[in-house]
Structure 1
Amino acid sequence: MAENTARNLLNSLPPIPDDLPVLIMGPTASGKSALALEIAEHSGGIIVNADASQIYDCWRIISARPSIDEEARAPHALYGHVAFDQDYSTGHWLREVRTYLSGPQRPIIVGGTGLYFSTLTEGMADIPATPPELRKTADAIPLPELLAGIDPRTRDRIDTRNRARVQRAWEVEQATGRTLADWQDDTPPPLLPLDQAFPIVVTPERDWLITRINSRFDQMLQAGALDEVAAMRDRYDPNLPSCKAIGVPELMAHIEGRMTLADARERATIATRQYAKRQRTWCRARMKQWHNVDPSQG
Structure 2
Amino acid sequence: MSEKRDGFNAHRTGTGAAGLPDLDPDRPVLIAGPTASGKSALALAIAEARGGVIVNADALQVFEGWRVLTARPTPDEEARVPHALYGHVPFDADYSVGHWLRDLAPLLEGPDRPIIVGGTGLYFTALTEGLAEIPATPPEIRAEADRRLAAEGVEALLAGLDPATLDRIDRRNPARVQRAWEVQRATGRGLAAWQDETPPPLLPLSAAQPLVIEAGRDWLNARIDARFERMIAEGALDEVRANLPRWDAGLLSAKAIGAPDLVAHLRGEMPLAEAVAAAKIASRQYAKRQRTWFRSRLGHWPRWPAG
Superposition TM-score, scaled by structure 1 size? 0.93
Aligned pair 1:227/2:238, yes or no?
A: yes
Q: Is the CA contact 2:56–2:62 (under 8 Å) kept in the aligned structure 1?
A: yes
- Equivalents in 2 of 1:240, 1:36: separation in Å? 29
Where in structure 2 are there 5+ consecutive unaligned residues?
A: 1-11
1:17 and 2:28 aligned: no
Contact 2:262 2:275 (C-alpha < 8 Å) held by counterparts: yes
Which residue in the other structure is 1:103 paired with?
A: 110
CA contact (8 A) 2:93 2:252 kept: no
What is the correspondence of 1:41-190 to structure 2 with a 5 Å cutoff?
Answer: 41-142=48-149, 143-144=153-154, 145-190=156-201
Task: Give distance in 1, aligned partners of 2:19 and 2:300.
Answer: 17
Q: Structure 2: how far apart are the matches of 1:8 and 1:269? A: 34
SS of structure 2 residue aligned to 1:279: helix
CA shift, 1:155, in A, is 3.0
Q: Which amino acid aligns with 1:215?
A: A
Aligned to 2:8: none
TM-superposed CA distance for 1:267, in Å, is 1.2
More deviation in 281-290 or 104-113?
281-290
The aligned residue for residue 253 of structure 2 is: 242
**Paired amino acid for 1:179:** G
**Residues 140 and 95 of structure 1, relative CA distance in 2, 3 Å threshold:** same
1:3 corresponding residue in structure 2:
none
1:199 maps to what in 2? 210
Mapped to 2, the partners of 1:156 and 1:235 lie a distance apart of: 39
Amino acid at match of 2:297: R
CA contact (8 A) 1:13 1:291 kept: no
Alignment partners' CA distance in 2, 1:37 and 1:8: 18
Distance 1:195 1:289 in 2: 12
Report the secondary structure of 2:148's partner residue: coil
Amino acid at match of 2:91: F
Aligned length: 290
Instruction: Deviation per CA, 1:262-294: give whole Å up to 9, x if none.
Output: 111111111111111111112222223322111
Identity %: 62
The answer to whether the Cα contact below 8 Å between 1:114 and 1:282 also exists between their aligned partners in 2 is: yes
* Contact 1:55 1:81 survives alignment (8 Å): yes
Partner of 1:35 in structure 2?
42
User: Please, what TM-score do these two structures have when normalized by structure 2?
Assistant: 0.90
- Match of 2:294, SS? helix
Q: Contact 1:147 / 1:166 at 8 angstroms: preserved in 2? A: yes
Aligned residues of 1:139 and 1:239 also touching (Cα < 8 A): no
